[in-house]
Structure 1
């Protein structure tokens, strides 16, 4: 389960967010997982609003690898944000 606390600091309503998730153990040069994913925000997130999400990655893919060690750490990078009409609001350069 991926637990995220997000705040919309864009000044625009956001309906979908695109991320890169990297799951890596300390001292390990190769990450267990390095994948992009997106999340469609039910009802969107308004400017200044903070939400908490519990996301369940696909357990049949790389995220469900039983070899992933308990000390693995997750880093999340925002790649893109889309507005309610599907228009791109922001994209990482």
Structure 2
């Protein structure tokens, strides 16, 4: 099976596909974005399928073992000033 990352204990380690083609000590953006997207999936309510994800990488990600943690800080969907889908946080 082809993968960008593997889990070693509590840490995530990059496979060859996740390493930047320009610098072996850095990770490529596509691998990092894919890992972030996967980590966000458990936070989605049932029936919600994200269609787009935007990630700003303000600095390079080093090619070293790491862990990942995500949490929803604030999320809702509103149209014309009315909240249509507040259940992201269990209701408002």
From the two aligned structures, give the one with the greater helix fraction. Answer: 2
TM-score bracket, shorter-length normalisation: 0.3 to 0.5
Question: Could you say which structure has the higher strand fraction?
Answer: 1
Structure having greater relative contact order (Cα 8 Å, sep ≥ 6) = 1
* The structure with more radius of gyration: 2
